[in-house]
Chain A
């Protein structure tokens, strides 16, 4: 549409192009500009490969860390089993009552096995283990209660289920106190959380640096085409028309950078897997690293493309508008 001369037919209207064709042509033009941007990159392969490699390798580190955390989670899931609940019984129970209680517990479906450590055995063990032998001899009566070691059934070993079992056992008349030792599990969880948080912070920093690097490369591209941009503005090109090829350059950086990230992550995991296998063989277990799944690879690729696009967008927003014809 002509802005200054309303009656003037011009451009696409003059050659009578239908709305549908114009819609199609918009995408055809976009495709042409995308291919033209690719051609530009191929013409200066060294400079563009450097940027793509930086983008790809920057994403490799977070991707590899992600794989490591994911595998640690898998290992953790195997270990996250509460194997034992300790019941301290009331001291006024007779041996007969304890035996009945033990029998009753071992019949419960939630419990696999119950081991009874009677108070005298407990004291003997304690005397040997602690080295307080003589001091204990001076006691007039045994201060220790009878203890039952309860092994939950296989389906009751997850932390939550074990916790519930613990609560119900605590309510038994015979039980003075019940303990579930999951402190080490919590420590392990906290450690994984620490790694996960560190990985997230690192990933965010690297993503930010990718955006800045791509932005800077695109900025250099823009300033090397300053004259061309000025001429385009003089003959009536809108900012978005001028920006589009640069945005496509950013997308191409992302596409190739994402492929580089796949490759480098795969190589790094293959290399780490050797070390992990060696360690796990020492522990006589069969464990090997799980690489990226197809979905995760797609997410990584989209992330690379998104970062490339974001970097170029940041650059064109600022620098294309700043170039004014003189």
Chain B
């Protein structure tokens, strides 16, 4: 599903964020990505979502080399990847319905067709009754779940999450992870970047560990 082959990324100015990283996430797998801040987690996710291009090596998604995707094709490729952010990136002046419907409207759905799927997605994250609310009227955990609903509303085969539990207490964090497990069970590949080692160790999923841009561990999390 996601394949890194000797990938290095050096930012302009000389900072090397990733150094010869290789790994392979199988279709339908759920994988955690961990490391200290500055270890290269965000850069790795940005390479997958085509916000950055690697300096060396190859990034493949489902057998497609991302370097061969032209600038104009990037939007279409991103529609196959659901992305979830620590700061959830909701549009504050739009209702929850409009926020979650955004990826569908971009794809050419009419609002009536989108509404059904938005309701289903919000139902899945337990916010079926908040359609008409604005993001500011919701709690942090609820806002994060709206972000997840937006990421899964067009049923992408791949989910990326960057510190999805960063601002949440342990109980809410576990609820969010349980949501990802549900989607994973339906066949979606999931890659979650987090520095919450306590959370990972309890769950016993495959974990990729980065340190100073190098992959130092690929397997079950230690400690």
Please report A residues at the B interface, Cβ cutoff 8 Å: 1-5, 8, 10-12, 15, 17, 22, 25-26, 28-29, 227-228, 230-239, 241, 324-326
| B69 and A25 contact, CB distance less than 8 A | no
| A11 and B69 contact, CB distance less than 8 A | no
Bound-state CA distance A2–B69 (Å) is 13
| B78 and A236 contact, CB distance less than 8 A | yes
Cβ of B76 under 8 Å from chain A = yes
- Name the residue among A15, A28, A326 with the largest chain B CB count within 10 angstroms: A15
Cβ of B133 under 8 Å from chain A = no
Please report B residues at the A interface, Cβ cutoff 8 Å: 49, 51, 61-62, 64, 69, 72-73, 75-81, 83, 89-91, 102-104, 106-110, 113, 150, 154-155, 157
Bound-state CA distance A234–B74 (Å) is 10
> How near does chain B come to A232, taking the closest CB pair, in angstroms?
7
| A238 and B75 contact, CB distance less than 8 A | yes
**Contacts A4-B64, A235-B150; A15 near B79 (Cβ below 8 A):** no
| A10 and B155 contact, CB distance less than 8 A | yes
Residue contacts A-B, CB under 8 angstroms, 29 given: A1-B76, A2-B76, A2-B79, A3-B69, A4-B64, A8-B80, A10-B107, A11-B79, A11-B108, A11-B154, A25-B108, A26-B108, A29-B108, A227-B89, A231-B89, A231-B90, A231-B102, A232-B106, A233-B75, A234-B49, A235-B83, A235-B103, A235-B106, A236-B76, A236-B79, A237-B75, A238-B75, A238-B106, A239-B75
| B83 and A234 contact, CB distance less than 8 A | yes
Residues of A within 8 A of B91 (CB): 227-228, 231
Which chain A residue has the least Cβ–Cβ distance from B151? A235
| B108 and A22 contact, CB distance less than 8 A | yes
Bound-state CA distance A234–B91 (Å) is 13
| A236 and B61 contact, CB distance less than 8 A | no
Which chain B residue has the least Cβ–Cβ distance from A26? B108
List 4 A-B pairs, minimum CB-CB distance, nearest first: A11-B107, A236-B79, A236-B78, A235-B103
Which chain B residue has the least Cβ–Cβ distance from A326? B51
Bound-state CA distance A17–B80 (Å) is 20
Bound-state CA distance A12–B155 (Å) is 13
| B83 and A241 contact, CB distance less than 8 A | no
Known: A10-B154, A237-B75, A238-B106. 18 other contacts (CB 8 A): A2-B79, A3-B77, A4-B64, A5-B80, A12-B107, A15-B109, A28-B110, A29-B108, A228-B91, A231-B89, A231-B91, A231-B102, A232-B102, A234-B49, A234-B83, A235-B83, A235-B103, A238-B75
Bound-state CA distance A236–B78 (Å) is 5
**Contacts A3-B77, A232-B102, A324-B51; A12 near B108 (Cβ below 8 A):** yes
Point out the residue from B76, B89, B106, B154 that lies within 8 Å of A3, measured CB to CB: B76
Bound-state CA distance A29–B113 (Å) is 13
**Contacts A15-B113, A324-B51; A4 near B155 (Cβ below 8 A):** no
Residues of B within 8 A of A235 (CB): 78-79, 83, 102-103, 106, 150
> How near does chain B come to A8, taking the closest CB pair, in angstroms?
6
**Contacts A4-B62, A11-B154; A237 near B106 (Cβ below 8 A):** yes
Residues of A within 8 A of B102 (CB): 231-232, 235
- Name the residue among B76, B81, B104, B150 with the largest chain A CB count within 10 angstroms: B76
- Name the residue among A4, A15, A324, A325 with the largest chain B CB count within 10 angstroms: A4
> How near does chain A come to B58, taking the closest CB pair, in angstroms?
15
Residues of A within 8 A of B103 (CB): 235-236
Bound-state CA distance A233–B71 (Å) is 12
| A5 and B76 contact, CB distance less than 8 A | no
Bound-state CA distance A232–B150 (Å) is 11
> How near does chain B come to A6, taking the closest CB pair, in angstroms?
9
| B109 and A12 contact, CB distance less than 8 A | yes
Which chain A residue has the least Cβ–Cβ distance from B50? A325
Residues of A within 8 A of B78 (CB): 233-236
Which chain A residue has the least Cβ–Cβ distance from B60? A4
Residues of A within 8 A of B79 (CB): 2-3, 10-11, 235-236
Residues of A within 8 A of B90 (CB): 231
| B61 and A4 contact, CB distance less than 8 A | yes
Bound-state CA distance A22–B107 (Å) is 11
> How near does chain B come to A238, taking the closest CB pair, in angstroms?
5
**Contacts A5-B157, A8-B80, A231-B91; A236 near B108 (Cβ below 8 A):** no
> How near does chain A come to B38, taking the closest CB pair, in angstroms?
16
Which chain A residue has the least Cβ–Cβ distance from B63? A4
Residues of B within 8 A of A227 (CB): 89, 91
Residues of B within 8 A of A8 (CB): 80, 157
Bound-state CA distance A326–B106 (Å) is 20
Bound-state CA distance A29–B81 (Å) is 24
Bound-state CA distance A258–B72 (Å) is 35
Residues of A within 8 A of B83 (CB): 234-235
> How near does chain A come to B205, taking the closest CB pair, in angstroms?
23
> How near does chain A come to B164, taking the closest CB pair, in angstroms?
15
Residues of A within 8 A of B76 (CB): 1-3, 236, 238
